[in-house]
Chains A and B, each alone.
Chain A
Amino acid sequence: DAGVTQSPTHLIKTRGQQVTLRCSPISGHKSVSWYQQVLGQGPQFIFQYYEKEERGRGNFPDRFSARQFPNYSSELNVNALLLGDSALYLCASSIDRPKNTEAFFGQGTRLTVV
């Protein structure tokens, strides 16, 4: 079975641009969460989607948005990019609402804002 897949793997954008990151969860998993990891730190929670509805949002500005599609894949959008948005963006997949179950991560998208 394929694991969590994310695309693209690397991306370079300039300040002010917009970016869309994509995630396909493990087959049968209904929950997708997004995390941002800046260099030298642990991942920070951005969004959680379950059954196509937003279930939780982290402390990120409104420039960050996301959605989940009927096939449970997800997109993360970031508008008006800032240099500080440069980070590894990780998608996590869970079979159910992530509470007492394992969360499996993709390889991430490395976003560089110049």
Chain B
Amino acid sequence: SQQGEEDPQALSIQEGENATMNCSYKTSINNLQWYRQNSGRGLVHLILIRSNEREKHSGRLRVTLDTSKKSSSLLITASRAADTASYFCATFRGDTGFQKLVFGTGTRLLVSP
């Protein structure tokens, strides 16, 4: 079963606009990761935010985490056509002996020139 759910499922914006994607999860976490996937290729790691962090920045990316609401958001500022991709959040699930990454269904972002 999916741990996270991204919202919206699809987002279409113009270049220069900001894009915000949300992720909700069900269980307590140690961290949450965001990935980008271009055209069904491999996943590119964007950012990891730990449960004791509320906000993290990386270039044009800003990630927030609200553990009380079990939610995270990814903001891409000043979007570019090259940002067109699917974006996934993922959390670790399991016990101390073994944990696996559990992904949401993703947000498909289309940035038009």
Contacts and interface: CB of A to CB of B under 8 A. Distances in A.
A107 B44 CA distance: 9
B105 A42 contact: yes
Contacts, number: 72
Given A42-B88, A43-B43, A108-B41, A98 B105 contact: no
B101 A100 contact: no
A110 B40 contact: yes
Interface stretch (B11-19, B28-36, B61-69, B70-78): B28-36
B2 interface: yes
Interface in B75-113: 88, 90, 92, 94, 96-106
Contact of B45 (A6, A40, A104): A104
14 contacts: A4-B42, A39-B40, A42-B90, A42-B103, A43-B88, A45-B100, A56-B98, A90-B43, A92-B43, A98-B92, A98-B100, A99-B99, A104-B45, A107-B41
Interface of A: 4, 6, 33, 35, 39-45, 48, 55-56, 58, 88, 90, 92, 97-100, 102-108, 110
Interface of B: 2, 30-31, 33, 35, 40-45, 48, 50, 88, 90, 92, 94, 96-106
